[in-house]
Amino acid sequence: MNLPLILNLAAALLLLGVLYRMHQTHQTFTRRVFSALALGALFGAVLQGVYGASAPIVKDTGAYLEIVGEGYVKLLQMIIMPLIMVSIISAILKLKDASSLGKISAITIGTLMGTTLVAAIVGIVMAKLYGLTAIGMVSSTAEAARGVYLEGKLSTAQGISLPAMILSFIPENPFLDLTGARKTSTIAVVLFSLFIGVSATGIAGKKPDIFASFEHFIKVAHALVMRMVTLVLRLTPFGVFALMANVVARSSYADILNLMSFVAASYSALIIMFCVHLLLIAAVGLPPVRYLKRIMPVLVFAFTSRTSAGTIPMSVQAQTTRLGTPEGIANFAASFGSTIGQNGCAGIYPAMLAVMIAPTVGIDPWTFAFLLPLVAIVTVGSVGVAGVGGGATFAALIVLSSLNLPVALAGLLISIEPLIDMGRTALNVSGSITAGTLTSRVLGQTDLATFHSDAEVNLDAAEPTT
């Protein structure tokens, strides 16, 4: 280890210490993330200015930064399966009436996945309008990714047929799927969790003591998993710093401007999808402006916290006390909405990313032969994307790997996720509340008196304390 590398790492540790100090002094999460973003960009710019983007010392420094950045991503991958499982089982247990599960799940999940399909199309259109492409972004990474792609091209040339894909969703060995060993492991875990939840509700009347014990166990498991999520999310600023520093150090100014174009395109797509949600609310006979005012505190909390899962308690209370949605439907929509069909993380983002990355391997993304499978895979792949920071990355990996695109290039945009993840999270939560409201309204269970009441409801008690 030479002296310049030691100095670089010492400077990085000093900046990470600043972020840790901000955590100790209880600075807000949003402030810490944006500070990490700024410090990472500054550190990366200094590295490039002193050594040059292609210098070996920059590559060596980046390798150590990847321990922090990629380590954070791996921790997110660690918690995704437990979070999916306990959230889905918990949502079904709260219904306690398996006979109504069919209609509720069909409308709720149908709305979530249907709006995700629309979100994918909107993301593709925005990518076209803004002229987004990954060509020229960190050429060394792109070349390495292309080599990996070409190496695996022969083994994946046959593709996956639709019947084979459907069969792959079935969890033949759920314990294997809990390890994430297969590309469709997340969907398989969702189905396995559904079976567990439905089976449990089936014995609620016949063996109430056993059901009560199992319900208590799930509550304990849910609390533990959510605590684990909290611990991992606290590392977000450190991961953001390392990822941002690597991108800035190895990219040209034109590349950074290209990333900002991605941010602008993303927010344009997010705004359009918020309007789509309001149109759906209007379609079932509810005034969209009043609806928006009733859920605004939840959207603001989701925007600042950047966690769909953490917003579940506040979302449920808003649906029941402000929108007149029954508690069972509210719980189901909020929990499933943090796992299935996230319009922002699982719809807009992976669709835009796939369109950007396809040209790097010589694929024309503006043909129906590419776009139709992309929209279909985005919609199906939106099942099982957990509502925590990094969920959009998981969705992108599912889509890119299914399309045989180089997944390594997805890392180019992880560093700017804090800029757009707040808006994506708010859209995800908006989608789940929209699904719950539509389900309640279609089934005729909405309490319109509550919806039209002018009484103010305090949602502070619903905020997570972790």
Q: What is the mean pLDDT of residues 314-329?
A: 84
At 134 the pLDDT is 76
pLDDT value at 464 more than 60: no
Which two tokens mark 296? Answer: 């605004």
Exposure class string for 195-207: b at 16+ Cβ within 10 A, else e: ebbbebbeebeee
At 253 the pLDDT is 60
User: Helix, strand or coil for residue 95?
Assistant: helix
At 213 the pLDDT is 92
At 155 the pLDDT is 42
At 281 the pLDDT is 96
Phi, psi values for residue 383, rounded to 5°? -80, 120
- What is the separation of C-alpha 437 from the centre of its chain, rounded to a whole number of angstroms? 22
Euclidean distance between CA atoms 428 and 369, whole angstroms: 29
Which two tokens mark 29? Answer: 């999460």
Which residues are bridge partners to 340 per DSSP? 383
At 158 the pLDDT is 38
User: Helix, strand or coil for residue 383?
Assistant: strand
DSSP percent split of the chain into helix, strand, coil, nearest 5: 80, 0, 20
At 83 the pLDDT is 75
Domains of the chain: 3-462 (1.10.3860.10)
Mean pLDDT of the chain: 79
CB 383 within 8 A of CB 341: yes
Quick one: DSSP state of residue 13?
A: H
Using pLDDT thresholds of 50, 70 and 90, give the confidence band for residue 386.
low
At 427 the pLDDT is 94
Using pLDDT thresholds of 50, 70 and 90, give the confidence band for residue 189.
confident
Euclidean distance between CA atoms 412 and 132, whole angstroms: 13
Euclidean distance between CA atoms 345 and 382, whole angstroms: 9
Using pLDDT thresholds of 50, 70 and 90, give the confidence band for residue 159.
very low
At 461 the pLDDT is 40
pLDDT, tens digit, for every residue of 408-450? 666 566 556 656 887 898 999 999 999 999 999 999 889 999 8
User: Helix, strand or coil for residue 237?
Assistant: helix
pLDDT value at 145 more than 70: no
pLDDT, tens digit, for every residue of 333-360? 887 787 778 899 889 998 998 998 888 8
What element of type H or E holds 429?
helix 417-442
